[in-house]
Amino acid sequence: MTKILLIEDDSLILKTLELKIRKEGFEIFCSADGKEGLEKLHLELPDVVITDVMLPFASGLEIVSASKKIKEKDIKVIVCSSMGQEHIVEEAFNLGADDYITKPFSLNELIIRIKKQIKGR
Amino acid sequence: MKQRESFFHLLKPDHLYAASMFFAVITLLLVSQVYIYLYIKKRRFRIISQINHQINEWIGMIISEKEFPVIDLTKELKLYLKKEKNREFLIDNLIKIRKNLTGSAAQSIVELYKNLQLKDDSIARFKSYAWHKKAKGIYELYMMDQEAELPDIYLYTNSKNEYIRMEAQTAIIGFWGFEGLTFLESLEEPLHEWQQLKLLEQLSTLDIVPLQNLSLWLRSGNEYVKHFALKLTDIYRQLDMHDLVADCLQSANVKIRAQAIKSLGRIADDSTAEILISHYPTETNDNKKKILQQLATIGNNNITSFLEEVLKEDDDFLKLEATRALVAVNNDVKILNKFQADKTMASIARQIQYEQA
Amino acid sequence: MSFWQIISNLLTYGVFLYSVTLLLFYIFIGLFSIGETRKYIKKNILTDYRLLASSPHAPTVSILAPAYNEGATIIENVRSLLSLYYSNLEVVIINDGSKDDSLQKLIDAYQLEKIERHVQYIIASKEIKGIYKSSNPVYKKLVVVDKVNGGKADALNVGINIAAHDLIVCIDVDCILEQDAILKLVKPFLEETNEKTIASGGVVRIANSCEIKDGMLVKVHLPKNYWARMQSLEYIRAFILGRMAWARLNGLLLISGAFGAFDKRIAIEAGGYDHNTVGEDMELVVRMRRYMEQKKIPYRVTYVPDPLCWTEAPSSTKILGRQRNRWTRGTIETLKLHKIMFFNPKYRLLGLLSYPYWFFFEMLAPGIEFIGMIAFLLMAIFNIINWHLFLALLLFVITFGYTYSAFAAYMEVTTFNMYRRRTDMMKLLLTGLTEPFIFHPFVVWAAIKGYIDIIRKKNSWGEMTRQGFNQAPKP
């Protein structure tokens, strides 16, 4: 089953996205902070990582960078940003991010982007 | 002993004992208040987790796109939601989801808000006389797409209270986009930088439309509006505004001049470099630095002599920026080689060489 | 009437009058702070700080963190600074000639390489040996400056010279900041209207016994150590009541050196930190204010009451004593440097209220109390004490102190409520009961030592041997 790691610091949003992604039939791991996110990244080796830009303990950019350093697997990264963070998205792409999505977004759009990444692997 | 007696006449130990008793009682009251408060807080924690549980269930329903909204509250929850405070907590959380989502899920959240009659709460807050409630009411109505209230909200875009004003302005932009900026024309109150930033962030998600009244705002008697208009000119590259922006260089307000310099750089034409250069001597050091930064991007090698003149300034920051500009306008790093004699200039040259590498 | 009786009377009257004034000040401060704190909380509810974190229109900020022999914790401290929510940020670590391997550790952990940067010593300072930046774009906010040892004030001045951004936030490198600390501290600068915001002070809370992981605060606990716990209460009182009231009056004289933001240009124009005083944090604020008064530019020094910065407090009497000794010397030196403002109407509120308050009730208080104690002992020996009145006065002062502490605890619980466990609150309040008998006399004694040192012109830095944050309880 396709593994997805979701890192987002707002518990309510995390829960919402988790429910949606699970309903689509993916195996999902969640983390509310960057540090734990990094740990789960190395432990679970997910197929796709969805990460917020601003996270406690470690930034989304660190997540991108760490995901791309993992040799065992081609991990796809989707960066989730708020409006006005284009410059950060640019940095994320420089570090190897595969896609980005801007808040607010529709749940279906997120799923489409996840599927696109999985197909592209 | 006489003196002492007169003193005690005024201050008997008994008075002090009485006062001590008074303070002791107050202390005990305060301590009991602390504990009552902690107890209430703990009880509330239970209520909150129940509400959260219910919200999660709703989210589940929204996601499965079943018949929605289904409002089937437990008896306990019904009781909790009789309290305004708990309903406010519910609204806050619905807003949080609404803020992050668009599409059908967001619509469902708004439906839920309406069906739970939470709008009545928001309206009541909006009608309240307490500033923080009023502002919050506006925020809730706007986040939950209650456009019908817009005419009433518009009246508050020039409110004396900055928070009410700020929320009202945000709401108007939220519904009308760039066209909502008309409130700027009648704004007499300050629009400080935090508000400006908030509006700019909000506008950044929208598609630009022609800013019909930008020239009015640039000439506004309200300095804050002028400042904000200059930022709009900069961000959305309003090339037609060049002359009006150049006029803003004469402002007594250093922030307005600083932004005018930056905006001019963004909408520069053939005359801009010369305007900035002739304005240069009258500026503060901070703004001089900004002029040099703009010249680096818009200037050509005609301004070399001006920049070399700047190198005689005392401030190293100005020298640095001027040197950077020299390299930029001549498009040649080798120009740095001639600065090896002077210690400061050599150090500046090394920095620029490093940056270019 | 005998000579001793006159003395005794004078003392009774004097102490009484002084206490009444101080008491009135306290009541005023307590009541005056309530509205302002409540207002702040209401504003907070309406504010989305995250907007500032990522906006390209947000002001640019340089964090200045001097480090001296912090090798044990520097890597994780820098890491936590780098993960603060703020995108227009530069984190400047100033290695003040550390004798340990701090610099090498930083170079290794963050892939630093030496860069070329021209530095203008706008504020005179010791020489810079090298400036480093990371080759890894993930750490692009980080700047490390290696300099010749010169003390904290000198290191901060180097930081000001190096800082590329408009606002500077000065912190102690081993402080633990909340993720949104910068956002909240910087917002007052954006809210200025016709008064220029020159500085913004933050709250410092005690981190002893808190759970800390990788330089981040995980869970707040009340300190187990008596001295640290007592300081928790002291800090709550000072930050929730005192600073808030003074900020509302726009009369704040002190921004904690552990966490404060300044307008860089004004800080430079005022001359930067003074390295001849041990109270450089207070001295800079006073000098910046004085500068603005002299220039007749309307200004504000603001204060953010959210608990955003956590620091380890001294937990032994030896180090606590040294710290309070240094604070006393810092206050005396600062007030002496700016004595022209004492009751000087030209400096308005600053000269007529802030300065005199600090002079009488911060600087002189320990001395007056000490003289009072000596006199009490002498009178007891000569048996000329009016025990009845004395006990009544003592009881009065002590109960008032309790009320003030209880009020502070009440304000804390109903606002920021960092100590949620009921037993914690109980311990805090019970510890407060011992204050007049143990903690307070000790603090007075340490201040008296400060007086003595200043008379002897001793200018040494009380070295603060930190225990490191690794002592947090195991979960």
Higher-pLDDT residue of C456, C170? C170
When CB atoms are compared, the residue of A10, A19, A105 closest to B60 is A19
Q: Taking CB atoms and an 8 Å limit, are B100 and A84 in contact across chains?
A: no
Q: Which residue has the tokens 């799923």?
A: A111
What is the pLDDT, as a whole number, of residue C323?
94
Residues 151-180 of C with CB under 8 A from A: 179
Say if C23 is an interface residue toward chain B (CB within 8 Å).
no
The neighbours of chain A, by the rule of 3 or more Cβ pairs under 8 Å, are: B, C
What was the pLDDT predicted at C469?
37
At residue B66, the pLDDT reads 62
Mean pLDDT of chain C: 90
pLDDT at B3 over 50: no
- Percentage of chain B surpassing pLDDT 90? 72
Mean pLDDT of C31-53: 92
Residues C129-139 have pLDDT tens digits of 999 999 998 89
User: What confidence score (pLDDT) does residue C471 get?
Assistant: 35
pLDDT in tens, C250-266: 999 999 888 999 999 99
Report the Cα–Cα distance between both ends of chain C, in Å, rounded. 67
> Domain extents for chain B?
289-357
The C-alpha atoms of residue B225 and residue B191 are separated, in whole angstroms, by 7
- Chain centroid offset of residue C136 CA: 35
Name the β-bridge partners of C131. C115, C145
Numbers of helices and strands, H then E, in chain C: 17, 12
Q: Is the pLDDT of residue C224 over 60?
A: yes
The pLDDT value recorded for residue C393 is: 83
**Which residue in the set C395, C406, C422 is minimally distant from B20, CB to CB?**
C395
Q: Domains in chain A, start-ordered, CATH in brackets?
A: 3-119 (3.40.50.2300)
Which of the residue ranges A82-96, B115-129, B237-251, C351-365 would you say has the lowest mean pLDDT?
A82-96
Contact between chains at A82 and C50 (C-beta distance less than 8 A): yes
C55: chain B residues, CB-CB within 8 Å: 197, 200-201
Question: What does the block give as tokens for C90?
Answer: 């530069």
Most B CBs within 10 A among C403, C411, C427, hence the mutation to make, goes to C403
In the predicted model, is pLDDT for residue C445 greater than 80? Answer: yes
Chain A residue closest in CA terms to B92: A12
Contacts of residue C469, Cβ cutoff 8 Å, sequence gap at least 6? C73, C174, C176, C207, C212, C215, C312
The lowest-confidence range among A50-59, B38-47, C461-470 is C461-470
Nearest CA in chain C to A58: C83
Mean pLDDT of A69-98: 86
pLDDT in tens, A99-118: 999 888 888 899 999 999 99
- Give me the pLDDT at residue A83, please: 65
Would the pLDDT of C290 be above 60?
A: yes
Residue-level pLDDT at B61: 82
Average pLDDT, chain B: 91
- Residue B6 binned pLDDT confidence (cut-offs 50, 70, 90): low
pLDDT digits (tens, 9 = 90+) for C324-334: 999 999 999 99
Place B68 in a pLDDT band, splitting at 50, 70 and 90: low
Please tell me the predicted confidence (pLDDT) of residue C152: 92
ipTM of the complex: 0.92
Question: Looking at the partner chain, which of A19, A84, A107 has a beta carbon nearest the beta carbon of B101?
Answer: A107
Nearest to C193 among B3, B13, B190 (CB): B190
Contacts of B78 (CB under 8 A, 6+ apart): none
For A48, residues 6+ apart whose C-beta sits below 8 A from its C-beta are A2, A3, A4, A5, A75, A76, A77, A78, A114, A117, A118
B280, amino acid identity: Y
CB-nearest to B27 from C51, C116, C403 is: C403
In chain A, which residues have their Cβ closer than 8 Å to the Cβ of C79? 58
Contacts of C91 (CB under 8 A, 6+ apart): C62, C63, C65, C78, C81, C82, C141, C142, C143
Give every CB contact of residue C474 below 8 A, 6+ residues apart in sequence.
none
pLDDT of residue C470: 34
Lowest mean pLDDT among B7-11, C2-6, C244-248, C449-453: B7-11
Q: Each residue of C227-251: pLDDT tens digit? A: 999 999 999 999 999 999 999 999 9
Write the pLDDT tens digit of every residue in B326-349.
Answer: 999 998 888 888 888 889 999 999
Contact yes or no for B102 and A104 at CB 8 A:
yes
- Closest Cα partner for C145 from C204, C66, C207, C215? C66
A contacts of B100 (beta carbons < 8 Å): 10, 13, 16, 103-105
**Could you please report the per-residue DSSP string of B200-247?**
HHHHTTSPP---TTHHHHHT-SSHHHHHHHHHHHHHTT-GGGHHHHHH
CA C417 from centre of chain: 20
Partner-chain contact B100 A13, CB within 8 Å: yes
Q: Encode pLDDT of C405-438 as tens digits.
A: 999 999 999 999 998 888 999 999 999 999 999 9
- Inter-residue contact C198 to C288 (CB < 8 Å): yes
The predicted model gives B237-242 an average pLDDT of 95
What is the least distance, in Å, from the CA of C353 to any CA of chain A? 42
Residues of chain A that touch chain B, judged by Cβ-Cβ distance less than 8 Å: 10, 12-13, 15-16, 19-20, 23, 83-84, 102-109
- Please tell me the distance from the alpha carbon of residue C472 to that of residue C221, in angstroms, as a whole number: 10
- How far is Cα C453 from Cα B138, in angstroms, rounded to an integer? 59
Whether the predicted pLDDT of C464 surpasses 60: no
Residue B16 has pLDDT above 80, yes or no: yes
Q: CB of C215 within 8 A of CB of C79?
A: yes
pTM: 0.92
Cα B301 to the chain's mean position, in Å? 40
Query: For residue B351, which residues of chain C lie inside 8 Å, CB to CB?
Result: 116-118
Chains A, C: CB contacts within 8 A come to 44
Q: B100 vs A10: CB contact, 8 Å cut-off?
A: yes
Rounded percentage of chain C residues whose pLDDT exceeds 90:
75
CB pair distance less than 8 Å for B201 and C400: no
What span, in angstroms and rounded, lies between the C-alpha atoms of A92 and A99? 9
Residue B61: count other Cβ atoms within 10 Å of its Cβ.
17
> Which residues in chain B are closer than 8 Å to C192, comparing Cβ atoms?
192-193
Look at residue C472 in the predicted model and tell me its pLDDT: 34
- Chain A positions in Cβ-Cβ contact with residue C58 (cut-off 8 Å): none
